[in-house]
């Protein structure tokens, strides 16, 4: 396996072998320090890449990017550039590596591109290594418009990494850690998914088109026994997982954990964390590869947040932290007072950032599909709060309530003494677990659990990095103001930390996030409890959001507008498609079958009437008469429901503003879909099993 790891990655050691040392060092300066790339360096790197790729079976290359659809995209071009005397000529120049350009007018831009300047450009991201998938060399790229506005997640993500780096490094220098050169945000993504037998999967139009079941009666057994989580992995699923890990490892994706998840047919794969940019590309690759590996094993893989009603949906926990170039984790409690000062400072700043920009952090994980999962007694609620665990909470409370010169003596050399002794080293394995919190401290990192399984984690990481960078920047400014007034640096730092802890008290919650009491309590605390997704999207355009994103250089106002537009547009389109599929299945599949069964019963009743005297007939056919009536009731409700839903859609589609349209879909179309589902699920329990046209939950979830 060793030699197979990263076999298809144009990794650092491959480059070292294939570029001369001077060229390799130049490349590293470009990658690590953002130095400008000259054409001759680009040409030579490109040629080395092509030779390596072709030796490993590639014939094509693609500029791989993730537009705002959240799905990987790219056009494949052959290395073949011409033919001379029947001999192929292969070319891959520096220009071809660095920049791609194409008619991207069909990709969402939220109004950033007028049709006359529909071009989108892709730019090589040298911080994320190229790799070969099949016969194509994939070059990770950023995607932006003619005027340089971001049309993807990578561009703002890289900007957010820069912002965090700048603010955190300055802060560390202030603390005296002048040897730190850079700070990077890190993330480890846990990916949940479902596997469904492909034969059943391909017989469910809703699963194939929308990624979720639009109806389906509850099976006799769900997840109530808790017998799937961590249980023995079935042979067929294991064969799939082994294949998946092998494929991911060959692509340099360090998948580490695999297990059965809570719902039947639900699983998880988690990779070892790395810097957010690479981890994001890796997670995107996981989502791409997992589907094709599933197909090889005759499974359909569902990445949707809520493929089945009544059992858990899928998330993508984002484990986030900050690390220095020396490999130190800034959210790891240390074992000496100076390290603990640093820990406390970063911890307090992150909590304060989440407190201030919780709405943006929640927005980053909000979508129609995730809305079906969040807050459903299985996944974090849509209210953002921070869980810290009893020990850390006690330390913070102690800091907040202490007078600077009393319990906490300031020792210039050693940093802050907390008056609670050193923060025990045990912390790392000793943090309490709270699965109900959307944003939980887990010993040396925060776990943002609200992110959906089908989402690119870029949006979440951008929001978090941005908020934290902004808060760290303010922290610096506040400390500088105090020291300018003559206050000692250590004391100034302590005062700001203390204030942050006090100010962000409302966002801290260690109790049960699923409970109704919490909803009431959160409201009392003044936390944002909005549940309407189209309204949640508004936060992008709030004054504080625009200021924060502009100050940190991550989004300008125009880009925020475009993202908001795309969010509303996507929200509408997803529901629109679901609603069409539901209408089709209801009218052309369910109703005809239910009616046919009803005719059979009617036939039976009339035959009985012909055979038996009236009293006896009434008694004997009572059951069938009842079913006939029920079928009539449900089919007419479905027919009326589809009509209503279609009308709601028509009315909504006429609305010009994307926001208002999204609201109309949220307020009117979704409820009418729910009503139709109710009646279809009732019919499923009545109609002859032999006749029912679609695989049921019990088959989808239990037959493997």
Applying CB under 6 A, the residues found at the interface with ligand ADP are 186-188, 190, 257, 270-273, 317, 319-321, 329, 444-445
User: How many other C-beta atoms lie within 10 A of the C-beta of residue 635?
Assistant: 20
Task: Report residue 43 as tokens.
Answer: 């040409």
Instruction: State the binding partner of 187 from Mg ion, ligand ADP, none, CB within 5 to 8 A by kind.
Output: ligand ADP
CA distance 99 to 122: 6
For residue 427, CA distances in Å to 156, 389, 588 come to: 34, 10, 59
Closer to ligand ADP by CB, 16 or 433: give it.
Answer: 433
Report the 3 state secondary structure along 414-473: CEECCCCCCCCCCHHHHCCCCCCCCEEECCCCEEECCCECCCCCHHHHHHHHHHHHHHHH
Q: Give min distance, CB of 256 to Mg ion, in A.
A: 10
When the beta carbons of 190 and 559 are compared against Mg ion, the nearer one is 190
CB of 259 to Mg ion, least distance (A): 7
Residue 308 · residue 192 · CB < 8 Å: no
Report what 490 binds from Mg ion, ligand ADP, none; CB cut-off 5-8 Å by kind.
none
Nearest alpha carbon to residue 322 among 151, 506, 155, 177: 177
Q: How many H helices and E strands in the chain? A: 25, 19
Q: CB 189 → ligand ADP: shortest distance, Å?
A: 6
Phi–psi pair at 187, nearest 5 degrees = -145, 145
Give the footprint of Mg ion on residues 397-456 (CB under 5 A).
none
Instruction: In whole angstroms, give the CA distance from residue 21 to residue 41.
Output: 12
DSSP assigned state of 389: -
Can you say how many angstroms the Cα of residue 475 is from the centroid of all Cα atoms in its chain?
A: 29
Query: What is the distance in angstroms between the CA of the first residue and the CA of the last residue of the chain?
Result: 29
Taking the complex as a whole, the smallest distance from the CB of residue 82 to Mg ion amounts, in Å, to 51
Of the pair 243, 328, the CB lying nearest ligand ADP is at 328
Nearer Cβ to Mg ion (192/510): 192
Minimum CB–partner distance for residue 443 and ligand ADP (Å): 9
387 binds, among ligand ADP, Mg ion, none (CB under 5 to 8 A by kind): none
Out of 190, 197, 261, 371, the residue judged to bind Mg ion by CB under 5 A? 190
User: Out of ligand ADP, Mg ion, none, which partner does residue 319 contact, by CB within 5 to 8 A per kind?
Assistant: ligand ADP
CB of 447 to ligand ADP, least distance (A): 6
Spatial separation of the C-alpha atoms in residues 379 and 357, rounded to whole Å: 21
Buried b (16+ CB within 10 A) or exposed e, 255-270: beebebbbbbbbbbbb
In the bound complex, what is the minimum distance in angstroms from residue 446's beta carbon to ligand ADP?
9
Q: Which residues contact 24 (CB under 8 A, 6 or more apart)?
A: 15, 16
Q: How many residues in the shown chain lie near Mg ion by CB under 5 A?
A: 1
**CA neighbor of 302 nearest in space, from 200, 222, 440:** 200
371 belongs to the binding site for Mg ion (CB under 5 A): no
186 binds, among ligand ADP, Mg ion, none (CB under 5 to 8 A by kind): ligand ADP
Stretch that binds Mg ion, among 183-191, 435-443, 556-564, 642-650 (CB under 5 A): 183-191
The one segment of 89-97, 189-197, 411-419, 442-450 that binds Mg ion by CB under 5 A: 189-197
In terms of phi and psi (left: phi > 0; alpha: psi -120 to 50; beta: otherwise), the region of 512 is beta
Task: Using CB positions, name the residue nearest to Mg ion.
Answer: 190
| Residue window 105-124: x/- pattern of binding to Mg ion, with contact defined by CB under 5 A | --------------------
Q: How far is the CB of 337 from ligand ADP (least distance, A)?
A: 22
* Closest approach of Mg ion to the CB of residue 258, in Å: 10
Q: Which of 444, 646 has the CB closer to ligand ADP?
A: 444
Residue 358 vs 443, nearer CB to ligand ADP: 443
CB of 321 to Mg ion, least distance (A): 16
CB of 387 to ligand ADP, least distance (A): 13
Considering only the stretches 78-86, 95-103, 182-190, 567-575, report the one whose residues sit in contact with Mg ion under the rule CB under 5 A: 182-190
Of 168, 36, 156, 42, the closest CA to residue 93 belongs to: 42
Which residue is at the shortest CB distance from ligand ADP?
A: 188
Structure tokens at 342: 């640093």
Q: Which does 194 bind (CB under 5 to 8 A by kind): ligand ADP, Mg ion, none?
A: none
Please, are residues 317 and 449 in contact by the beta-carbon 8 Å criterion? yes
**Burial classification of residue 512, based on how many CB atoms lie within 10 Å of its CB (0-12 exposed, 13-18 middle, 19 or more buried):** middle
Write out the E strands in 443-515.
446-448
CB of 312 to ligand ADP, least distance (A): 14
Q: 542 contacts which partner out of Mg ion, ligand ADP, none, CB within 5 to 8 A by kind? A: none
β-pair partners for 122: 100, 143
From CA 639, how far away is CA 633, in angstroms rounded?
10
Q: Rounded to whole angstroms, how far apart are CA atoms 388 and 442? A: 8
Q: Which one of Mg ion, ligand ADP, none is in contact with 461 (Cβ closer than 5 to 8 A by kind)?
A: none
Compare residues 457 and 669 and give the one whose CB is closer to ligand ADP: 457
Comparison of 165 and 271: residue with beta carbon closer to ligand ADP: 271
Where on the chain is the footprint of Mg ion (CB under 5 A)? 190
């Amino acid at each position: 396996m060793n030699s197979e790891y990263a076999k298809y990655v144009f990794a650092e050691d491959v480059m070292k072998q294939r570029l001369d040392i001077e060229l390799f060092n130049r490349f590293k300066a470009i990658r690590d320090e953002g130095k400008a790339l000259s054409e001759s360096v680009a040409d030579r790197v490109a040629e080395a890449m092509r030779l390596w790729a072709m030796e490993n079976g590639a014939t094509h290359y693609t500029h791989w990017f993730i537009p705002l659809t959240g799905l990987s995209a790219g056009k494949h071009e052959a290395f073949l550039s011409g033919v001379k005397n029947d001999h192929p000529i292969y070319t891959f120049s520096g220009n071809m590596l660095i920049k791609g350009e194409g008619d991207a007018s069909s990709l969402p831009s939220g109004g950033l591109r007028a049709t006359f300047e529909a071009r989108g450009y892709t730019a090589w991201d040298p911080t994320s290594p190229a790799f070969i998938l099949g016969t194509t060399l994939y070059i990770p790229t950023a995607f932006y418009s003619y005027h340089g506005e971001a049309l993807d997640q990578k561009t703002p993500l890289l900007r957010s990494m820069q912002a965090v780096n700048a603010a955190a490094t300055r802060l560390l220098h202030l603390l005296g850690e002048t040897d730190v050169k850079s700070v990077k945000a890190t993330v480890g993504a846990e990916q949940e998914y479902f596997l469904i037998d492909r034969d059943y999967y391909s017989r469910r139009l809703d699963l194939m088109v929308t990624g979720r079941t639009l109806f389906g009666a509850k099976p006799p057994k769900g997840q109530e026994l808790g017998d799937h989580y961590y249980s023995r992995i079935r042979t067929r699923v294991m064969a799939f997982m082994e294949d998946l890990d092998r494929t991911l490892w060959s692509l340099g994706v360090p998948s580490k954990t695999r297990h059965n998840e809570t719902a039947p047919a639900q699983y998880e794969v988690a990779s070892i964390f790395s810097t957010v940019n690479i981890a994001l590309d890796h997670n995107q690759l996981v989502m791409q590869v997992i589907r094709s590996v599933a197909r090889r094993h005759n499974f359909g893989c569902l990445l949707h947040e809520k493929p089945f009603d009544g059992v858990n949906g899928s998330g993508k926990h984002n484990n986030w932290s900050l690390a220095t170039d020396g490999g130190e984790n800034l959210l790891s409690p240390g074992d000496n007072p100076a390290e603990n000062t640093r820990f406390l400072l970063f911890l307090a700043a992150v909590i304060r950032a989440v407190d201030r920009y919780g709405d943006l952090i929640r927005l980053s994980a909000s979508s129609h599909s995730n809305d079906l999962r969040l807050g459903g007694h299985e996944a974090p609620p849509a209210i953002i709060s921070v869980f810290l665990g009893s020990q850390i909470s006690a330390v913070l409370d102690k800091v907040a309530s202490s007078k600077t010169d009393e319990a906490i003596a300031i020792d210039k050399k050693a940093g802050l003494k907390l008056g609670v002794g050193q923060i025990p080293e045990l912390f790392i394995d000793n943090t309490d677990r709270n699965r109900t919190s959307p944003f939980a401290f887990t010993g040396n990192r925060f776990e943002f659990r609200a992110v959906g399984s089908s989402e690119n984690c870029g949006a979440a990481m951008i929001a978090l990095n941005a908020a934290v960078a902004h808060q760290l920047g303010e922290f610096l400014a506040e400390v500088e103001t105090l020291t300018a007034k003559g206050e000692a640096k250590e004391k100034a730092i302590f005062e700001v930390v203390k204030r942050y802890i006090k100010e962000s008290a409302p966002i801290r919650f260690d109790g049960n996030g699923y409970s109704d009491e919490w909803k009431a309590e959160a409201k009392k605390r003044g936390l944002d409890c909005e549940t309407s997704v189209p309204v949640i999207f508004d936060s992008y355009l709030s004054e504080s959001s625009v200021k924060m994103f502009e100050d940190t250089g991550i989004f300008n106002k125009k880009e925020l507008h475009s993202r908001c537009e795309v969010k509303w547009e996507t929200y509408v389109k997803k529901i629109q498609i679901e609603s069409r599929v539901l209408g089709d299945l209801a009218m052309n599949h369910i109703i005809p079958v239910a009616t046919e069964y009803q005719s059979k019963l009617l036939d039976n009743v009339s035959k009985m009437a012909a055979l038996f005297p009236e009293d006896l007939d009434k008694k004997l056919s009572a059951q069938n008469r009842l079913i006939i009536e029920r079928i009539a009731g449900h089919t007419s409700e479905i027919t009326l429901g589809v009509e209503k839903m279609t009308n709601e859609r028509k009315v909504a589609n006429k609305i010009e503003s994307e926001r208002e349209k999204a609201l109309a879909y949220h307020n009117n179309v979704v409820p009418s879909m729910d009503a139709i589902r109710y009646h279809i699920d009732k019919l499923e329990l009545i109609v002859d099993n032999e006749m029912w046209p679609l695989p049921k939950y019990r088959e989808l979830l239990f037959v493997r």
